[in-house]
Amino acid sequence: MTGTPIPSPTTASEPPPAPTHKPGWRANFRLAADIVSTLAIPIVTVAATVLGIYATNSLREREIEIARQNNLQSLMNQREESETALRSAMFRELVGPLLQTGIDAPASGPQMDLPRAERLALLAELLTLNFHEHFELGPLMRYVDTLPGQTEEARSRLRGTARRVISRQLAPMLAAADGPAGSNPDFIEISLNSDVSAPAEALLSCAIPGSAPAAVTSSISLDCSASASGSPFKVISPDGRDKLQISFRAVNWADQTVGIYARALDGKDAQQTNTPPIEFTLSPYSLPFSDNTLLSSGNRFGIYLTRIDIVPDVVRVMRLSFVWFPKDFVPPRERPLGLDMNRPSQAPASRP
Protein backbone atom coordinates (compact mmCIF):
# COMPACT_ATOMS: atom_id res chain seq x y z
CA MET A 1 0.00 0.00 0.00
CA THR A 2 1.10 3.29 -0.76
CA GLY A 3 1.55 5.63 2.04
CA THR A 4 1.46 9.30 2.36
CA PRO A 5 4.73 10.91 1.14
CA ILE A 6 6.97 11.96 3.92
CA PRO A 7 8.36 15.50 3.49
CA SER A 8 12.15 15.70 3.25
CA PRO A 9 13.96 17.30 6.09
CA THR A 10 14.81 20.98 5.53
CA THR A 11 17.32 23.31 7.14
CA ALA A 12 16.43 26.40 9.04
CA SER A 13 14.50 28.84 6.95
CA GLU A 14 16.66 31.61 5.23
CA PRO A 15 15.38 35.04 4.42
CA PRO A 16 14.92 35.78 0.77
CA PRO A 17 17.72 37.80 -0.85
CA ALA A 18 17.23 41.54 -0.74
CA PRO A 19 16.73 43.23 -4.06
CA THR A 20 19.82 45.19 -5.36
CA HIS A 21 19.45 48.88 -6.16
CA LYS A 22 22.00 51.20 -7.90
CA PRO A 23 23.02 54.28 -5.94
CA GLY A 24 21.30 57.49 -7.11
CA TRP A 25 22.78 60.92 -7.93
CA ARG A 26 22.21 62.11 -4.39
CA ALA A 27 24.47 59.38 -3.04
CA ASN A 28 27.14 60.25 -5.61
CA PHE A 29 26.92 63.90 -4.70
CA ARG A 30 27.26 63.15 -1.01
CA LEU A 31 30.28 60.94 -1.74
CA ALA A 32 31.93 63.68 -3.83
CA ALA A 33 31.16 66.26 -1.14
CA ASP A 34 32.76 64.05 1.47
CA ILE A 35 35.88 63.63 -0.67
CA VAL A 36 36.13 67.35 -1.37
CA SER A 37 35.65 68.29 2.27
CA THR A 38 38.34 65.80 3.18
CA LEU A 39 40.88 67.12 0.61
CA ALA A 40 39.94 70.83 0.68
CA ILE A 41 42.34 71.86 3.40
CA PRO A 42 45.41 70.11 1.86
CA ILE A 43 44.58 71.49 -1.60
CA VAL A 44 44.11 75.02 -0.31
CA THR A 45 47.32 74.75 1.67
CA VAL A 46 49.32 73.59 -1.36
CA ALA A 47 47.79 76.27 -3.60
CA ALA A 48 48.50 79.00 -1.07
CA THR A 49 52.07 77.80 -0.71
CA VAL A 50 52.66 77.79 -4.50
CA LEU A 51 51.04 81.20 -4.88
CA GLY A 52 53.11 82.60 -2.06
CA ILE A 53 56.33 81.25 -3.54
CA TYR A 54 55.41 82.70 -6.96
CA ALA A 55 54.53 86.10 -5.49
CA THR A 56 57.73 86.15 -3.43
CA ASN A 57 59.87 85.27 -6.44
CA SER A 58 58.09 87.86 -8.63
CA LEU A 59 58.57 90.55 -6.00
CA ARG A 60 62.20 89.61 -5.56
CA GLU A 61 62.82 89.69 -9.34
CA ARG A 62 61.12 93.08 -9.55
CA GLU A 63 63.25 94.42 -6.71
CA ILE A 64 66.39 93.07 -8.41
CA GLU A 65 65.38 94.69 -11.71
CA ILE A 66 64.64 98.01 -10.00
CA ALA A 67 67.97 97.86 -8.21
CA ARG A 68 69.74 97.05 -11.48
CA GLN A 69 68.05 99.95 -13.25
CA ASN A 70 68.94 102.30 -10.40
CA ASN A 71 72.55 101.18 -10.46
CA LEU A 72 72.69 101.56 -14.22
CA GLN A 73 71.18 105.04 -14.04
CA SER A 74 73.57 105.97 -11.27
CA LEU A 75 76.54 104.78 -13.32
CA MET A 76 75.29 106.70 -16.34
CA ASN A 77 74.84 109.85 -14.26
CA GLN A 78 78.32 109.49 -12.82
CA ARG A 79 79.77 109.01 -16.29
CA GLU A 80 77.87 112.04 -17.61
CA GLU A 81 79.08 114.14 -14.70
CA SER A 82 82.66 112.99 -15.25
CA GLU A 83 82.48 113.68 -18.99
CA THR A 84 80.86 117.06 -18.37
CA ALA A 85 83.58 118.02 -15.91
CA LEU A 86 86.28 116.83 -18.31
CA ARG A 87 84.78 118.68 -21.28
CA SER A 88 84.27 121.80 -19.18
CA ALA A 89 87.92 121.79 -18.12
CA MET A 90 89.01 121.08 -21.68
CA PHE A 91 86.82 123.90 -23.00
CA ARG A 92 88.32 126.38 -20.55
CA GLU A 93 91.85 125.32 -21.46
CA LEU A 94 91.15 125.72 -25.18
CA VAL A 95 89.15 128.95 -25.06
CA GLY A 96 91.40 130.74 -22.58
CA PRO A 97 94.42 131.12 -24.89
CA LEU A 98 92.17 132.09 -27.80
CA LEU A 99 90.74 135.02 -25.84
CA GLN A 100 94.07 136.27 -24.56
CA THR A 101 95.77 139.12 -26.35
CA GLY A 102 99.43 139.02 -27.20
CA ILE A 103 102.01 139.68 -29.83
CA ASP A 104 102.93 137.20 -32.52
CA ALA A 105 105.77 135.66 -30.56
CA PRO A 106 106.69 132.10 -29.61
CA ALA A 107 104.75 130.71 -26.70
CA SER A 108 106.35 129.74 -23.43
CA GLY A 109 106.14 126.17 -22.21
CA PRO A 110 105.89 122.91 -24.17
CA GLN A 111 104.71 124.77 -27.31
CA MET A 112 107.40 127.44 -27.23
CA ASP A 113 108.44 126.51 -30.78
CA LEU A 114 105.03 127.58 -32.20
CA PRO A 115 104.19 131.21 -33.01
CA ARG A 116 100.94 132.52 -31.61
CA ALA A 117 99.01 132.29 -34.91
CA GLU A 118 99.93 128.64 -35.42
CA ARG A 119 99.23 127.81 -31.78
CA LEU A 120 95.78 129.39 -31.98
CA ALA A 121 95.10 127.42 -35.16
CA LEU A 122 95.87 124.19 -33.31
CA LEU A 123 93.63 125.19 -30.39
CA ALA A 124 90.83 126.14 -32.80
CA GLU A 125 91.11 122.72 -34.44
CA LEU A 126 90.79 120.91 -31.11
CA LEU A 127 87.90 123.15 -30.06
CA THR A 128 86.03 122.55 -33.32
CA LEU A 129 86.49 118.79 -33.35
CA ASN A 130 85.27 118.38 -29.77
CA PHE A 131 82.55 121.04 -29.44
CA HIS A 132 81.12 121.61 -32.91
CA GLU A 133 77.68 120.29 -31.85
CA HIS A 134 77.23 122.90 -29.12
CA PHE A 135 78.73 126.16 -30.40
CA GLU A 136 78.84 128.22 -33.57
CA LEU A 137 82.58 128.14 -34.20
CA GLY A 138 82.67 129.55 -37.72
CA PRO A 139 83.55 133.12 -36.65
CA LEU A 140 86.37 131.87 -34.44
CA MET A 141 87.84 129.73 -37.22
CA ARG A 142 87.63 132.62 -39.70
CA TYR A 143 89.39 134.87 -37.19
CA VAL A 144 92.23 132.40 -36.66
CA ASP A 145 92.46 131.83 -40.43
CA THR A 146 93.04 135.54 -41.08
CA LEU A 147 95.48 136.23 -38.23
CA PRO A 148 98.62 138.11 -39.30
CA GLY A 149 101.47 135.68 -39.75
CA GLN A 150 99.23 132.64 -40.17
CA THR A 151 101.02 129.98 -42.21
CA GLU A 152 99.51 128.27 -45.24
CA GLU A 153 100.07 124.89 -43.61
CA ALA A 154 98.08 125.86 -40.51
CA ARG A 155 95.38 127.49 -42.66
CA SER A 156 95.08 124.39 -44.84
CA ARG A 157 94.87 122.16 -41.76
CA LEU A 158 92.18 124.39 -40.23
CA ARG A 159 90.08 124.27 -43.41
CA GLY A 160 90.50 120.51 -43.60
CA THR A 161 89.21 120.25 -40.04
CA ALA A 162 86.14 122.27 -41.02
CA ARG A 163 85.44 119.87 -43.92
CA ARG A 164 85.69 116.93 -41.50
CA VAL A 165 83.10 118.55 -39.24
CA ILE A 166 80.83 119.28 -42.22
CA SER A 167 80.96 115.60 -43.15
CA ARG A 168 80.13 114.57 -39.57
CA GLN A 169 77.17 116.92 -39.34
CA LEU A 170 75.78 116.01 -42.77
CA ALA A 171 75.94 112.25 -42.19
CA PRO A 172 72.85 111.88 -39.92
CA MET A 173 70.79 114.20 -42.14
CA LEU A 174 71.64 112.30 -45.31
CA ALA A 175 70.88 109.00 -43.56
CA ALA A 176 67.42 110.33 -42.65
CA ALA A 177 66.57 111.22 -46.26
CA ASP A 178 63.78 108.90 -47.43
CA GLY A 179 62.44 110.55 -50.57
CA PRO A 180 60.93 108.17 -53.17
CA ALA A 181 62.98 107.28 -56.20
CA GLY A 182 62.64 109.79 -59.04
CA SER A 183 61.58 112.65 -56.79
CA ASN A 184 63.51 115.85 -56.21
CA PRO A 185 66.77 114.83 -54.48
CA ASP A 186 67.56 115.78 -50.89
CA PHE A 187 71.27 116.11 -51.69
CA ILE A 188 72.90 117.66 -54.75
CA GLU A 189 76.63 117.83 -55.42
CA ILE A 190 77.57 121.05 -57.21
CA SER A 191 80.90 121.40 -59.03
CA LEU A 192 82.18 124.92 -59.70
CA ASN A 193 84.69 124.61 -62.55
CA SER A 194 86.87 127.70 -62.49
CA ASP A 195 88.76 129.30 -65.33
CA VAL A 196 92.36 128.25 -64.57
CA SER A 197 93.71 131.29 -66.40
CA ALA A 198 91.95 133.68 -64.02
CA PRO A 199 93.93 134.87 -60.96
CA ALA A 200 93.08 133.20 -57.66
CA GLU A 201 92.03 136.56 -56.22
CA ALA A 202 89.64 137.30 -59.11
CA LEU A 203 85.90 137.31 -58.36
CA LEU A 204 84.17 134.88 -60.73
CA SER A 205 80.53 134.16 -61.54
CA CYS A 206 79.12 130.71 -62.28
CA ALA A 207 76.33 129.39 -64.51
CA ILE A 208 75.15 126.14 -66.05
CA PRO A 209 76.68 125.94 -69.53
CA GLY A 210 74.25 125.97 -72.44
CA SER A 211 71.04 127.81 -73.13
CA ALA A 212 68.58 125.38 -71.47
CA PRO A 213 68.53 124.72 -67.72
CA ALA A 214 69.83 121.33 -66.74
CA ALA A 215 67.51 118.81 -65.13
CA VAL A 216 67.75 118.53 -61.38
CA THR A 217 69.80 115.44 -60.56
CA SER A 218 72.08 114.34 -57.75
CA SER A 219 75.02 116.23 -59.30
CA ILE A 220 75.47 119.25 -61.54
CA SER A 221 78.42 121.26 -62.92
CA LEU A 222 78.71 125.01 -63.40
CA ASP A 223 81.36 126.96 -65.31
CA CYS A 224 82.92 129.94 -63.53
CA SER A 225 84.60 132.87 -65.22
CA ALA A 226 84.77 136.65 -65.10
CA SER A 227 81.71 136.83 -67.38
CA ALA A 228 79.90 133.52 -67.05
CA SER A 229 76.96 132.96 -69.41
CA GLY A 230 74.39 130.23 -69.22
CA SER A 231 71.36 129.14 -67.25
CA PRO A 232 70.92 129.79 -63.54
CA PHE A 233 70.80 126.91 -61.10
CA LYS A 234 67.28 125.99 -60.02
CA VAL A 235 66.30 123.46 -57.39
CA ILE A 236 62.97 122.17 -56.05
CA SER A 237 62.39 120.91 -52.52
CA PRO A 238 61.58 117.17 -52.15
CA ASP A 239 57.97 117.96 -51.17
CA GLY A 240 57.59 120.33 -54.14
CA ARG A 241 56.57 123.31 -51.98
CA ASP A 242 59.65 125.44 -52.65
CA LYS A 243 61.54 126.32 -55.81
CA LEU A 244 64.76 128.30 -55.62
CA GLN A 245 66.93 130.00 -58.19
CA ILE A 246 70.48 130.22 -56.86
CA SER A 247 73.28 132.34 -58.25
CA PHE A 248 76.94 131.66 -57.46
CA ARG A 249 78.99 134.81 -57.76
CA ALA A 250 82.07 136.45 -56.30
CA VAL A 251 83.88 133.09 -56.25
CA ASN A 252 87.26 133.77 -54.65
CA TRP A 253 89.78 130.94 -54.82
CA ALA A 254 92.32 132.61 -52.55
CA ASP A 255 89.86 132.77 -49.65
CA GLN A 256 87.75 129.81 -50.87
CA THR A 257 84.56 131.85 -50.52
CA VAL A 258 81.43 131.99 -52.68
CA GLY A 259 78.70 134.62 -52.73
CA ILE A 260 75.26 132.98 -52.68
CA TYR A 261 72.15 134.79 -53.90
CA ALA A 262 68.89 132.79 -53.79
CA ARG A 263 65.40 133.78 -54.87
CA ALA A 264 62.17 131.92 -54.11
CA LEU A 265 60.12 131.29 -57.28
CA ASP A 266 56.44 130.66 -57.79
CA GLY A 267 54.85 128.18 -60.18
CA LYS A 268 55.58 130.45 -63.15
CA ASP A 269 59.28 130.86 -62.24
CA ALA A 270 58.68 134.46 -61.14
CA GLN A 271 60.08 135.74 -57.87
CA GLN A 272 57.70 135.46 -54.94
CA THR A 273 56.71 138.92 -53.82
CA ASN A 274 56.27 137.97 -50.16
CA THR A 275 59.68 136.29 -49.82
CA PRO A 276 62.81 138.48 -49.80
CA PRO A 277 65.98 137.25 -51.50
CA ILE A 278 68.39 135.19 -49.44
CA GLU A 279 72.00 136.33 -49.59
CA PHE A 280 75.07 135.09 -47.71
CA THR A 281 78.75 134.27 -48.19
CA LEU A 282 79.75 130.64 -48.18
CA SER A 283 83.16 130.00 -46.59
CA PRO A 284 85.15 126.91 -45.62
CA TYR A 285 83.83 127.45 -42.09
CA SER A 286 80.09 127.37 -42.90
CA LEU A 287 78.83 124.41 -40.84
CA PRO A 288 75.44 122.66 -41.25
CA PHE A 289 74.32 122.91 -37.60
CA SER A 290 74.81 126.68 -37.53
CA ASP A 291 74.69 127.90 -41.15
CA ASN A 292 71.36 126.97 -42.73
CA THR A 293 68.28 128.76 -44.01
CA LEU A 294 64.72 128.15 -42.83
CA LEU A 295 62.02 128.96 -45.40
CA SER A 296 58.47 130.06 -44.62
CA SER A 297 57.14 126.65 -45.68
CA GLY A 298 59.14 124.94 -42.94
CA ASN A 299 61.73 123.55 -45.36
CA ARG A 300 65.36 124.16 -44.45
CA PHE A 301 68.35 124.08 -46.79
CA GLY A 302 72.08 124.68 -46.67
CA ILE A 303 75.10 124.85 -48.99
CA TYR A 304 78.53 123.70 -47.82
CA LEU A 305 82.06 123.49 -49.16
CA THR A 306 83.10 119.83 -49.01
CA ARG A 307 86.08 119.46 -51.33
CA ILE A 308 88.73 121.40 -53.25
CA ASP A 309 90.47 119.96 -56.35
CA ILE A 310 93.39 121.98 -57.74
CA VAL A 311 95.90 120.99 -60.39
CA PRO A 312 97.94 124.07 -61.35
CA ASP A 313 97.21 125.29 -64.89
CA VAL A 314 95.01 122.22 -65.50
CA VAL A 315 91.90 122.15 -63.33
CA ARG A 316 90.43 124.11 -60.45
CA VAL A 317 87.17 122.71 -59.06
CA MET A 318 85.26 123.61 -55.91
CA ARG A 319 82.81 120.94 -54.71
CA LEU A 320 79.71 122.15 -52.89
CA SER A 321 76.92 120.18 -51.26
CA PHE A 322 73.35 121.47 -51.47
CA VAL A 323 71.21 119.80 -48.80
CA TRP A 324 67.50 119.85 -48.02
CA PHE A 325 67.25 119.13 -44.30
CA PRO A 326 64.85 116.49 -42.95
CA LYS A 327 61.44 117.85 -42.02
CA ASP A 328 61.77 117.13 -38.32
CA PHE A 329 65.36 118.37 -38.01
CA VAL A 330 66.04 121.08 -35.44
CA PRO A 331 69.64 122.28 -34.96
CA PRO A 332 70.98 121.39 -31.50
CA ARG A 333 71.32 125.05 -30.53
CA GLU A 334 67.77 125.99 -31.57
CA ARG A 335 64.60 125.55 -29.56
CA PRO A 336 61.72 123.95 -31.50
CA LEU A 337 59.47 126.70 -32.83
CA GLY A 338 56.41 124.81 -31.58
CA LEU A 339 57.24 126.02 -28.06
CA ASP A 340 56.64 129.62 -29.13
CA MET A 341 54.28 129.45 -32.09
CA ASN A 342 51.16 127.51 -32.95
CA ARG A 343 52.25 127.12 -36.56
CA PRO A 344 55.97 126.53 -36.99
CA SER A 345 55.57 126.71 -40.76
CA GLN A 346 55.06 130.47 -40.44
CA ALA A 347 58.57 131.04 -39.15
CA PRO A 348 60.42 133.70 -41.16
CA ALA A 349 63.39 132.81 -43.31
CA SER A 350 66.61 133.18 -41.36
CA ARG A 351 70.25 132.31 -41.47
CA PRO A 352 72.45 132.32 -38.36
The per-residue pLDDT for 323 is 92
Check residues 264 and 80 and name the one with the higher pLDDT: 264
Q: Are residues 194 and 164 in the same domain?
A: no
The per-residue pLDDT for 131 is 84
Q: Considering 126, 144, 171, which residue would you say is the last residue of a domain?
A: 171
Q: Do residues 284 and 256 lie in contact, with contact meaning Cβ atoms separated by under 8 Å? A: yes
Q: What is the pLDDT of residues 293-338, one digit of tens each?
A: 988 888 999 999 999 888 888 888 999 999 999 887 777 767 655 5
Distance CA 136, CA 145 (A): 16
Any domain includes 306:
yes
Distance CA 231, CA 210 (A): 7
Q: Considering 144, 171, 198, which residue would you say is the last residue of a domain?
A: 171
Q: Are residues 249 and 269 in the same domain?
A: yes
Q: What is the residue-averaged pLDDT of the chain?
A: 78
Q: What is the pLDDT of residues 63-105, one digit of tens each?
A: 888 888 888 888 888 777 776 776 677 667 767 776 666 555 4
Q: Are residues 160 and 188 in the same domain?
A: no
Q: Are residues 140 and 195 in the same domain?
A: no
Q: Are residues 156 and 247 in the same domain?
A: no
Structural domain for 91, as ranges: 87-101+113-171
Any domain includes 159:
yes
Any domain includes 199:
yes
Any domain includes 128:
yes
The per-residue pLDDT for 196 is 84
pTM above 0.75, yes or no: no
Residue 130 has pLDDT above 50, yes or no: yes
Confidence of residue 158 (pLDDT cuts 50, 70, 90): very high
Q: Do residues 319 and 193 lie in contact, with contact meaning Cβ atoms separated by under 8 Å? A: no
Any domain includes 18:
no
Q: Are residues 153 and 188 in the same domain?
A: no
Q: Are residues 246 and 339 in the same domain?
A: yes
Any domain includes 40:
no
The per-residue pLDDT for 231 is 77
Check residues 293 and 179 and name the one with the higher pLDDT: 293
Q: Considering 171, 197, 215, which residue would you say is the last residue of a domain?
A: 171
Overall number of domains in the chain:
2
Any domain includes 157:
yes
Q: Are residues 188 and 312 in the same domain?
A: yes
Distance CA 99, CA 105 (A): 16
Check residues 92 and 13 and name the one with the higher pLDDT: 92
Q: Do residues 185 and 232 lie in contact, with contact meaning Cβ atoms separated by under 8 Å? A: no
Any domain includes 301:
yes
Q: Are residues 192 and 162 in the same domain?
A: no
Nearest to 305 by CA among 326, 320, 322: 320
List strand residue ranges (DSSP E) for the chain, in order: 187-194, 204-207, 219-225, 233-236, 243-252, 257-265, 278-282, 293-294, 300-311, 315-324
The per-residue pLDDT for 166 is 92
pLDDT average, residue stretch 196-225: 79
The per-residue pLDDT for 339 is 47
Q: Are residues 192 and 265 in the same domain?
A: yes
Q: Are residues 151 and 242 in the same domain?
A: no
Q: Are residues 148 and 289 in the same domain?
A: no
